[in-house]
Chain A
Amino acid sequence: MKSSFEDKLMEKYQGEMSQYAPDMDKMWDRIEAGLEERSPRAKKIVMHSRKRTAAIWAAAAIILIPVGFKAAQFSENSIKNSDTAVADNMTDGAANGVQMEAEENNAYADDAAPSVDSSPAGHLPEKMSYNELNFPRETAKSNMPEIENECVAYFVESEVLSQTDRFVDVKVRSVSYNEAENAVEYELYDVLGDTLLKISTTFGNGDNNTLCSNQYVLKIGHEYILPLGERDGEYYIVFPSAPQTELTVDGYAVFHNGWTSFMENETAYLECPRNGKDDYFYDRMAVTFAENLNFGADDDSGEGFTDKELDDMETVDEAIGEWLKNSQQMPRDERIEGAKELLYELASEGYIRRYSIYFDDRNGMFSFEYSCGVYGGIKIDPFDPMMN
Chain B
Amino acid sequence: MKTDRRVGESEVNGLTEKQFDNAVRRILDGDRSGLRDIYEEYGKIIFGTVMSVVKSPHDAEDITSDFFIRLWSIADTYVGGNGHRRWLAAIARNMAIDHLRRKKRETVADEDGCFEETPSDEHLEDSVTDRLTVTAAVDTLEETEREIINLKFISQLTFSEISKILKKPLGTVTWKYRKALEKLRRCIPDEKLV
Residue numbers of A with Cβ under 8 A of B are: 1, 5-6, 8-22, 24, 27-28, 30-32, 34-41, 43, 45-51, 121-123, 151-158, 161-162, 164, 166-167, 206, 212-213, 225, 227, 241-242, 256-258, 260-265, 278, 280-281, 284, 292-300
Residue numbers of B with Cβ under 8 A of A are: 1-10, 21, 24-25, 27-30, 32, 35-36, 39, 43-44, 47-48, 51-52, 57, 60-61, 64-66, 68-69, 72-73, 76, 78-82, 119-120, 123-124, 127, 130-131, 133-135, 138, 149, 152-154, 158-160, 163-164, 167, 169-172, 174-175, 178, 181-182, 184-185, 188, 190, 192-194
B1 touches A158 (CB 8 A): no
Give the residues in chain A near B170, CB-CB below 8 Å: 167, 261, 293-295
Minimum distance in angstroms from A164 CB to a CB of chain B: 6
A264 touches B171 (CB 8 A): no
In the bound complex, CA of A45 to CA of B61 (Å): 30
Give the residues in chain A near B51, CB-CB below 8 Å: 17, 20
A47 touches B4 (CB 8 A): no
Give the residues in chain A near B123, CB-CB below 8 Å: 19-20
Minimum distance in angstroms from A28 CB to a CB of chain B: 6
Contacts A22-B61, A50-B79, A241-B1: A264 and B10 contacting too (C-beta < 8 A)? yes
B169 touches A294 (CB 8 A): yes
In the bound complex, CA of A152 to CA of B1 (Å): 5
B3 touches A258 (CB 8 A): yes
A34 touches B44 (CB 8 A): no
B153 touches A13 (CB 8 A): yes
A154 touches B2 (CB 8 A): yes
Minimum distance in angstroms from A42 CB to a CB of chain B: 9
Query: Which of A123, A152, A260 touches B6 (beta carbons < 8 Å)?
Result: A260
Query: Which of B29, B69, B81, B175 touches A34 (beta carbons < 8 Å)?
Result: B69
In the bound complex, CA of A384 to CA of B181 (Å): 57
Residue of A nearest to B48 (CB): A17
Q: Assuming A40-B28, A151-B2, what are 18 further A-B pairs, CB within 8 angstroms?
A: A1-B6, A8-B190, A8-B193, A14-B48, A17-B154, A19-B123, A20-B51, A22-B61, A24-B39, A27-B61, A32-B32, A37-B30, A38-B72, A45-B24, A46-B80, A156-B4, A258-B4, A263-B8
A48 touches B81 (CB 8 A): yes
In the bound complex, CA of A28 to CA of B21 (Å): 21
In the bound complex, CA of A12 to CA of B130 (Å): 8
A47 touches B81 (CB 8 A): yes
A164 touches B175 (CB 8 A): yes
Minimum distance in angstroms from B94 CB to a CB of chain A: 14
A45 touches B193 (CB 8 A): no
A5 touches B190 (CB 8 A): yes
Q: Which of A9, A11, A50, A164 has the most CB of B within 10 A?
A: A9
Minimum distance in angstroms from A232 CB to a CB of chain B: 20
A264 touches B159 (CB 8 A): yes
Contacts A49-B79, A242-B3: A24 and B43 contacting too (C-beta < 8 A)? yes
Contacts A12-B193, A260-B6: A28 and B36 contacting too (C-beta < 8 A)? yes
Give the residues in chain B near A48, CB-CB below 8 Å: 79-82
B160 touches A12 (CB 8 A): no
Contacts A16-B134, A48-B79: A295 and B6 contacting too (C-beta < 8 A)? no
Give the residues in chain B near A296, CB-CB below 8 Å: 169, 171
Query: Which of B10, B175, B193 touches A9 (beta carbons < 8 Å)?
Result: B193
